[in-house]
Structure 1
């Protein structure tokens, strides 16, 4: 196989995964989404960050 063939297979695989994700996912509701920038809004941060330090041990 040449690089062109491998690149085409990888591209088709990625497109297939995107199509599968679009077919299986519910549409996004922009009115229910959290704000992109919530500076000073009083909303608590949710989710995790892999670079955040672990909580102190007790």
Structure 2
């Protein structure tokens, strides 16, 4: 009995995650590569804007 319930829960979670991925793909627009920030901006003077390192104090 326990073994069957584990597979049922695993299947339900996989279906839920797959459904979320399908919903995300269906509702989001394709990224514009010309407006994306550079992958490596070493020495360009551009500050990062969306990662945890962007929240450091700027004193």
TM-score interval (norm. to shorter): 0.7 to 0.9
State the structure with bigger RCO (CA 8 A, min sep 6), 1 or 2.
Answer: 2
TM-score with structure 1 setting the length = 0.74
Structure 2 spans left out of the alignment, 5+ residues: none
Structure 1 spans left out of the alignment, 5+ residues: none
Runs of 4+ in 1 over 4 A off after TM superposition: 52-56
Q: Would you tell me which structure has more helix in proportion to its own residues?
A: 2
TM-score with structure 2 setting the length = 0.73
